[in-house]
Amino acid sequence: MTTAEDSKHTAERNDFDDANDVDRIMEIAQANDNPHELIHLVQDNADAIFTWNYDKGERAKLDKLYEKSKTSQWNATTDLDWSIEVDPYEALNLQAELQMDPSNVEDPDSPLYSWGDKEWREFGLQSAKWRLSQFMHGEQGALLCTAKIVETVPWIDAKYYAAQQTVDEARHVEAFARYLNEKLDGGYPVNPHLRLLLDDIINDSDWDMTYLGMQIMVEGLALAAFGFMHDLTEEPLLKKMLRYIMSDEARHVAFGVLSLQEVYQDMTLAEIQHRQEFAFEAALRMRDRFLQQEVWEYMGVDSRVMCERLLNAPEETKVFQRMLFSKIVPNCRKLGLLDAGEGWLREKFTEIGVIEFEHMPDTGDEFLEYDLQEENFEEKAQSMHEAAAATAMGTAEA
């Protein structure tokens, strides 16, 4: 790594003074002038790297991950029972996230104050469709990013594993798309906050930034969210699909952790600071995407008003939102990003209320707990989910 490439990022450090700036959030949300486009072009500035060193196994942990991936493949067509009838209103009911804050239903000034069972039922369906849609779009982002890693990473062990992961990602896109189309009657376009993040990850010229943006941030949040949804749903097709995808995702996040550990230990402080900023901006965009402005618009609710209410809600009502970062924060800690540069990223994660997860297990070795052959996975998954919830609740109560 060279400091010249990062000098433009360190002349004036971006402190993101107001992470809850609703004007910024809404400006991005409303900037999508063509939400129904079918083809989206992004400039990819990275160099394709050949390596003539074919010595497999020089990076033993990556080699182990590669070997594991070869025996953990599943088929979305034959391993999932698509004949299962699904009640779209009951597949994934997410009403509890909003109802944890009593003011959403008890405050006469709340746009949801007059909602009855009909509106809450419809919101549950639309929120599920929207959330699964964004994960589908994110999985396509992972498909492109991992193909880019095959091109750009200089190590043969990483190229081998990334090639396996591209197969995983294609399968995830296929599974989400089929579930949305066949069981939920279609989904939503890509959220502008997510789209901009994916664009930035693809656009960056440094190969390690693809790892950081996708493997650590996007896939890390997805792994936590899939675990939450897996515990929440009783719909058998979705539950099994999420179980399979979680097994893959845990390996993907581990791939990022194991690769970046080696790279970051040799970087300059200026380079690390640039990556801290990128990680925090990615965290904000992923948090802001979960404000689901499109669903509020569908329900006839002022999305700006709801964004303000959700951002300013009491901390004890944001447990689900904060739990989404239960994988990201410990992985950033393991990579040394939390405390570099006088702890800048630690301070920023503290400001948005997610630093409490730093001592939870990182995914460098945890991926073995998600193995498809692992016994008692349901109990272990529930235990991991409860640990994250307890951590979030403990901080809120404090």
Give the up-direction half-sphere exposure of residue 178: CA atoms within 13 A in the CB hemisphere: 17
Which two structure tokens, joined as six digits, stand for 180? 């949305």
115 pLDDT exceeds 60?
A: yes
Alpha helices in 54-211 (DSSP H): 60-70, 95-99, 103-106, 117-152, 156-183, 192-203, 207-210
Cα dihedral across residues 74, 80, 82, 88: positive or negative: negative
Least confident of 36-50, 128-142, 150-164, 364-378: 364-378
230 pLDDT exceeds 60?
A: yes
Closest residue by Cα to residue 221 from 145, 322, 352: 322
Higher-pLDDT residue of 238 and 396 is 238
Q: So what's the pLDDT on residue 321?
A: 79
DSSP letter at 46 equals: P
Identify the band that residue 101 occupies on the pLDDT scale cut at 50, 70 and 90.
Answer: confident
What is each CA distance from 246 to 6, 219, 320, in whole angstroms? Answer: 35, 10, 18
Q: So what's the pLDDT on residue 9?
A: 42
Calculate what percentage of the chain has a pLDDT beyond 90.
Answer: 64
Q: Taking the CB of residue 106, how many other CB atoms lie within 10 A of it? A: 10
Higher-pLDDT residue of 193 and 101 is 193
Q: Kindly report, residue by residue over 190-213, the tens digit of the pLDDT.
A: 999 999 999 999 999 999 999 999
182 pLDDT exceeds 80?
A: yes
pTM above the 0.85 mark? yes
Residues sharing a CB contact under 8 Å with residue 178, sequence separation 6 or more, in sequence order: 76, 82
Residue range 306-324: average pLDDT? 83
Q: DSSP readout, 279-305?
A: HHHHHHHHHHHTT-HHHHHHTT--HHH
- According to CATH, the superfamily of the domain at 61-71+93-397 is Ribonucleotide Reductase, subunit A (1.10.620.20)
Q: Average pLDDT, whole number, for the chain?
A: 88
Residue range 292-316: average pLDDT? 90
397 pLDDT exceeds 60?
A: no
